[in-house]
Amino acid sequence: MLGTLLIVSGPSGSGKTTLCRRAEADGLTAYSISCTTRQPRPGEQDGVDYHFLSPETFSAKVAAGEFLEHATVHGNSYGTLKADIIDLLQQGKNVVMDIDVQGAASIRACTDSIIRRAYADVYIHVPAAELEARLRGRQTDSEEVIQLRLHNAAAEDARQGEYQFALVSADREHDYARFLALLTTLSMRTTLAQ
Ligand code: 5GP
């Protein structure tokens, strides 16, 4: 059986990264480590949180066609290496990808047969007032960054209808239970037979 490729999108503060990391920590999925040109935040490690690349190295990989998808988010480049994902799926591993709406749209357009058979996507929706409270609560970003993220969240929410599934965020445990239920169901698809 091929693994499932589950694309997880939602605004910054939706908890999507926490869901993906927790499923990985519980041994249910392999987390795909993205490449980015942004600077590491305090505590972030190269090769663990992201592959932190210079803009020149990132551009060379784009030119070589190495990315399954890449996009500019909040002024920085982000991308996922195609070979990494296909390799994991063929080993039967479930892969979750925490990416933005642009990235999800480009993977949906991918013609690779393994990617197409393994593909599914879910949007994590957070009511607006709750999202603002969460962004302020984590105290890692400036007011300017918070405002930019709220603005971007509204634009991302408008594209929720492009996704196969939506998870309306309530609390950590509720969200995780529903996320696992989705993964279990997806792993039963007949399209995954090799
Ligand atoms: P952050 O810099 O806060 O870690 O992430 C900023 C945004 O970039 C988030 O919305 C995250 O989902 C998105 N992102 C992270 N990795 C990738 C990737 O590989 N591709 C795309 N398109 N977006 C990504």
Q: Give the start-to-end residue ranges of the domains of the chain.
A: 5-187
- For residue 138, the model assigns a pLDDT of 79
Distance 77 CA to ligand 1 centre (A): 9
User: Are 9 and 124 in contact, with CB atoms under 8 Å apart?
Assistant: yes
The CATH number of 5-187 is: 3.40.50.300
Nearest to 100 by CA among 149, 30, 43: 149
Mutation to probe ligand 1, out of 34, 142, 149 (largest number of atoms < 8 A from CB) = 34
Place of tokens 């939706």: 14
Question: Is the model more confident about 31 or about 23?
Answer: 23
User: Which band of pLDDT confidence, cut at 50, 70 and 90, is reported for residue 74?
Assistant: confident
- For residue 194, the model assigns a pLDDT of 79
- For residue 155, the model assigns a pLDDT of 92
User: Are 108 and 164 in contact, with CB atoms under 8 Å apart?
Assistant: no
pLDDT above 90 (res 175): yes
Atom of ligand 1 nearest to the CA of 98: 12
User: Which band of pLDDT confidence, cut at 50, 70 and 90, is reported for residue 71?
Assistant: confident
User: Are 150 and 14 in contact, with CB atoms under 8 Å apart?
Assistant: no
Distance 106 CA to ligand 1 centre (A): 14
Asked whether 81 lines ligand 1 (CB < 6 A), one says no
Alpha-carbon dihedral sign for residues 151, 135, 131, 182: positive
User: Which band of pLDDT confidence, cut at 50, 70 and 90, is reported for residue 139?
Assistant: confident
Give the CA angle between residues 158, 163, 169 to the nearest 5°.
Answer: 75
The conformation of residue 38, written as its DSSP 8-state character, comes to S
- 3-state class of 52 per DSSP? strand
User: Which band of pLDDT confidence, cut at 50, 70 and 90, is reported for residue 167?
Assistant: very high
Overall pTM > 0.85 = no
- Give me the phi and psi of 69, to 5 degrees please: -155, 155
- Give me the phi and psi of 189, to 5 degrees please: -70, 135
- For residue 119, the model assigns a pLDDT of 97
Atom of ligand 1 nearest to the CA of 76: 2
Distance linking the first and last C-alpha atoms of the chain:
5
Give the C-alpha separation, 34 to 90, whole Å: 19
User: Which band of pLDDT confidence, cut at 50, 70 and 90, is reported for residue 65?
Assistant: confident
β-pairing, 35-36 with 51-52? parallel
pLDDT above 90 (res 5): yes
